[in-house]
Chains A and B, each alone.
Chain A
Amino acid sequence: MHLTVIPERCSGCKVCELACSVGRENANNPKKSRMRVMVLYPHPVIRMPIVCKQCGVPKCGEGCPTNAIYKENGVVRLDQEKCISCNQCLTSCPFGAMFLHEDIEHPFKCDLCDGDPLCVQACPKEALKFHPKHILGQAHRLSAARSYAKMSKVEYMDDGQKKTLRYAKITKGGKDER
């Protein structure tokens, strides 16, 4: 399973941060969330939720002096027994998805909530998705198929409204192709 972020849909409401902090740290405190929504303006204009990507090669672990970071069942985890809170992982992560707070002893990060992420449930804009890995890239595949340039079209009337149907027309194999 994979936690996917769609920044185009994010409104910057931070309900995800709230749901995470109350649900996982028992505190109403967005700074204790394992996700952070970056809102940038006016150059560029983007709202980007930042959260652990559960990397196959966790960079956060590479600099760890005590090998406290490991991967288990698709989730990158931090062993609190081994962690010495040197905070190296905060800067090792290329995305800044490792977090720190005065009240919390060790760095903390997203662990996908045991399979039903609270942030995904909370998001009112469907900007966060939790789905099987084989779905990734689907949006782009759909877009590529839909925008194939050499489609024919027919216009017709449907209930008083003009509509267009685009379709890829069958061609026979041979010299006349391409």
Chain B
Amino acid sequence: MSVKGGYFFRILEVDLTRGTSEVRSFDEEFALQFIGGRGFGARILADHLKGRKKRIDPLGPENILVIAPGPLTGVYLPASGKNSFITISPATGIYGDSSIGGVFGVELRQAGYDAVVLKGRAPLLSALSIQDDRVKIIPMPHAAGATALEGEQMVREATGDEDMKIACIGPAGENAVVYACVNTDWSRNAGRIGIGAVMGSKNLKAVAVRGSKDLPVHDLPELIKVSREGYDFLRSQELFKFWQDQGLMSVVDYANKMGILPTHNFKETVYDRADRMNGYMMEDRYKIADSACFGCSMSCGNVCLVKEGKYRGTVTEGPEYESAAMLGSNLGTSNFSYILKANALCDELGVDTISTGSIIGSVIEGQERGFLTPEDLDGVEIGWGDEDAILDLINRIAVRDGVGDTLAGGALAIISRWPEMASVVNHVKGLEQSAYDARAAISMALGFGTSDIGAHHTRAWTVATELENGTGWGLEEKADFVIYHQTVRPLFDMLGVCRLPWIELGFPEEYYQRYYRAVTGVDLSMAQLMERSRNVYDLTRAINVSLGMGRKDDYPPKRSFEDPVPSGPTAGKVIDREEYEKILGIYYEKRGWDEDGKPSLEL
């Protein structure tokens, strides 16, 4: 099997401490086994950790940050804009990755690199500039404290190239907020696990890239043929135009209808004012433009503008469903103008909307139940829907001001300081639960519990299918379904393409096998591609086990077991502990892991 396209076989390694860089090659075997994206990232990270006696501090110079698009990133096919950031997470202390769309990953490949590895720590706050073969580290101490957008503009000026694609952190990343993001293309964010904090700890304000190379495609005529088929398939789907119009904001209504919309810190799962913050409201009064990632015809992005009221002039690309739910219904408000303001604020400060919304929700409930006093919160009383207090708290988290300092440490820091808060902080392994309630779907609970990065739904989004079609399934089938998702989804990240055409419009998986073959010349079946993905999941599990994770950490948030859903379509539902122990055991067995969830694979 020889690889005839899809790779430059060049990884750029940057030593920020010394201010040097070198290009390392890799062999075909590496490309065939790990494909790209988080496959490359997991292997490079595992190699870095192997044999170390001492634990690496995620915010220390010993941590590495891998930026890895895939062999299909930037290729002429639907939704080829994806890129991954991989590191040890400061929020969880374990493996973490973040997938991001937009255009940045495409530009990185056009510069002739399959991945970038960032090591060490720059002496001064700097930007890394990559223009094809010319790599420079530009000191930018004057950019300290700049928002993600301001920083981006400063980098453009420093490099003298208006058209560079830039990944930039905001003050949250500089202040080591453990769920700080990296921002590209205005409002695309590599979020959740704290990529921004890792960059900040390396004194790296931004990575700027410009490339002009052809992307290596083995069989261009074949690619064009399969590509046109793919775009035609999507165009012919009944919901195609609806997706362009509303994108993920259509999920607000769906989640509310199914009884899985996070409301009041996941206490409830339905929200009586959901119709004031749904996709139709957005289209009617706020949406001014469509936005798409590279190569994508579904253009699920929405650009929204607040035209009147207190937040007039707020403009942002967003919100996504997650941001709207976690900053809206989760915090007891349906005011869409405020949701846009909060979203834009998080983007500028460079902090994850999901974790921020979750943490503030915990704070509000914590105060409601007396776990937190106003003294704990610097004299502030904050209730559900208290927009001013919420926005103020977001600002304080970003710069670690007052109580913001504890909140910036995420779920684990909050519970460490106020142990009672454990019953209202919804997290797994230190990562706050994203916007789907799991109490009515044990497969979703299992997905959250066994996700390799903590409670993030994108690893296994099984809730819709289980609620719609799977109530008759046994535990075996449900565990199988979680493993299927946890196997297919990494494949998208490894290839460098977006999974939304597949999950939302039924884009057949087989297309990716044909794209992979046309680009690389390698003829692998879907089963063989899935095998590689499954090995990568075992690898990230092995990394996590080496960092201390085990069965004790594979449980969904406490609320899933303790608080039955109070009302709505999923009323009364709660996860049965005994049943969960059973499905967890079944899951380990199917994965070939031992009873503590340890794979046989060594790092």
Contacts and interface: CB of A to CB of B under 8 A. Distances in A.
A11 B291 contact: yes
A103 to B, nearest CB: 7
A29 B213 contact: yes
Contact of A9 (B76, B106, B290, B303): B290
A146 interface: no
A125 B212 contact: no
B289 A47 contact: yes
A13 B76 CA distance: 11
Nearest to B315: A42
A11 B224 CA distance: 22
A10 B290 CA distance: 7
Given A13-B294, A41-B186, A124 B231 contact: yes
A28 B297 contact: no
A13 B299 contact: yes
A13 B149 contact: no
Contacts of B296: 13, 15
A34 to B, nearest CB: 15
B224 A13 contact: no
Contacts of B110: 29-31
Nearest to B314: A42
Interface stretch (B119-127, B214-222, B454-462, B526-534): B214-222
B224 A45 contact: no
A64 interface: no
A167 to B, nearest CB: 27
Interface in B93-124: 103, 106, 110
B294 A28 contact: no
Contact of B292 (A11, A18, A19, A29): A11
Contact of B295 (A14, A29, A101, A102): A14
B315 A28 contact: no
A22 B149 CA distance: 33
Given A13-B295, A15-B297, A45 B289 contact: yes
A66 B70 CA distance: 45
Interface in B191-239: 212-215, 217, 220, 223-224, 231, 234-235
A47 B294 CA distance: 13
A2 B215 CA distance: 31
B317 interface: yes
A42 B224 contact: no
A28 B292 contact: no
A13 B303 contact: no
B244 interface: yes
Contacts of B223: 22, 28
B301 interface: yes
A12 B294 CA distance: 8
Given A9-B290, A42-B186, A124-B235, A28 B299 contact: no
Contacts of B214: 27-29, 32, 103
A23 interface: yes
B274 interface: no
B215 A29 contact: yes
Contacts of B289: 8, 11, 45, 47
A171 interface: no
Question: Could you say which of A31, A45, A101, A124 has the most chain B C-beta atoms within 10 Å of its C-beta?
Answer: A124
A22 B212 contact: no
B217 A28 contact: yes
A84 interface: no
Given A13-B299, A15-B231, A28 B215 contact: yes
A122 B289 CA distance: 19
Interface string B242-273: 00100000000000000000000000000000
Contacts of A122: 231
A100 to B, nearest CB: 10
A12 B317 CA distance: 13
B301 A11 contact: yes
B295 A15 contact: yes
Contacts of B301: 11
B351 interface: no
A35 B110 CA distance: 17
A11 B299 contact: yes
Contacts of B415: none
B297 A45 contact: no
Contacts of A29: 110, 212-215
Interface string A78-117: 0000000000000000000000011100000000000000
A160 B533 CA distance: 54
A125 B231 CA distance: 12
A13 B293 contact: yes
A125 B244 contact: yes
Nearest to A47: B289
A138 interface: no
A159 B35 CA distance: 57
Interface in B278-322: 288-299, 301, 303, 305, 315-317
Given A11-B299, A45-B288, 11 more contacts: A13-B293, A13-B295, A14-B294, A15-B76, A28-B74, A28-B76, A28-B215, A28-B220, A42-B315, A47-B291, A124-B299
Nearest first, the 8 A-B pairs at minimum CB distance are: A124-B297, A13-B292, A11-B299, A11-B292, A11-B290, A18-B76, A28-B215, A41-B186
21 contacts: A8-B289, A11-B289, A11-B291, A11-B299, A13-B297, A19-B76, A22-B76, A23-B224, A26-B220, A28-B76, A28-B223, A29-B214, A29-B215, A31-B110, A39-B185, A41-B317, A42-B149, A45-B305, A45-B315, A102-B212, A124-B234
Interface of B: 74-76, 103, 106, 110, 149, 185-186, 212-215, 217, 220, 223-224, 231, 234-235, 244, 288-299, 301, 303, 305, 315-317
